[in-house]
């Protein structure tokens, strides 16, 4: 068994032989086919329906589009992913086991240089501000707690 495994990884010992990956002479290799184009390689037939977004989300997507020169669909996806993150902790759904947070997963497929990171950073600016504020509040609360604990130990 070990000799067969070693032959697959291409190690040449006296006891093992090299694997043969050639097509036997009586069989022909299948003809090569043209590659299948990726679904996102073709431009969409219609534009992204920005009018389906709420007015606030639409304005945010339009602002991201104008600032980053990003395509409409990618700007809207940034805004929708942040909205999903914010609303996910507030909305509950019933699953088979128990209630759970409502969430949505977003995957961005775009070429390099299409300003994916820049638009996502702009879209989540509000979340970053809240996180920083909560982090500062936590540091103050922890310092107060440590001070209270120290005073109890001394007193």
Q: Given the structure tokens 């006296």, which residue do they identify?
A: 14
- Which sign, positive or negative, has the C-alpha torsion 127, 133, 139, 145? negative
Which element (helix H / strand E) includes 58?
helix 55-68
Q: Which residue has the tokens 């070429």?
A: 111
**Domain range enclosing 75:** 49-123
Q: Mean pLDDT, to the nearest integer, of 60-78?
A: 87
CB distance 88 to 101 below 8 Å: yes
Residue 96: inside a domain, yes or no?
A: yes
Confidence of residue 134 (pLDDT cuts 50, 70, 90): very high
In sequence order, which residues have a C-beta less than 8 Å from that of residue 43 and are 6 or more positions away?
Answer: none
Whether 116 is covered by a domain: the verdict is yes
Residue 58 has pLDDT above 70, yes or no: yes
Burial of 118 (0-12, 13-18, 19+ CB in 10 A): middle
What is the distance between the alpha carbons of residues 33 and 80, in angstroms, rounded to a whole number? 39
How much is the pTM?
A: 0.59
Confidence of residue 16 (pLDDT cuts 50, 70, 90): low
In a domain, 6, yes or no: no
| Count of domains forming the chain | 1
In this structure, is residue 108 part of a structural domain? yes
14 domain-assigned: no
In-domain check, residue 86: yes
Confirm if 64 and 123 have CB atoms less than 8 A apart.
yes
Looking at residues 66-93, what average pLDDT do you find?
Answer: 85
- Assigned domain for 110 exists: yes
Residue 85 lies in a domain: yes
- Under DSSP, the state recorded for 15 is T
């Amino acid at each position: 068994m070990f000799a067969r495994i070693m032959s697959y990884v291409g190690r040449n010992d006296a006891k093992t032989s090299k694997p043969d990956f050639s097509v036997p002479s009586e069989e022909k290799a299948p003809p090569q086919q043209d590659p299948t184009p990726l679904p996102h390689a073709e431009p969409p037939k219609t534009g992204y329906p920005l009018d389906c977004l709420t007015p606030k989300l639409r304005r945010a997507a339009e602002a991201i589009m104008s600032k980053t020169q990003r395509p409409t669909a990618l700007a809207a996806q940034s805004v929708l992913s942040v909205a999903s993150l914010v609303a996910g902790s507030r909305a509950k759904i019933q699953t088979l086991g128990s209630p759970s947070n409502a969430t949505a997963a977003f995957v961005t497929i775009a070429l390099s240089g299409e300003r994916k990171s820049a638009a996502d950073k702009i879209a989540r600016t509000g979340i970053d501000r809240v996180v920083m504020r909560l982090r500062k509040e936590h540091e103050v609360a922890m310092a107060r707690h440590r001070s209270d604990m120290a005073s109890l130990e001394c007193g």
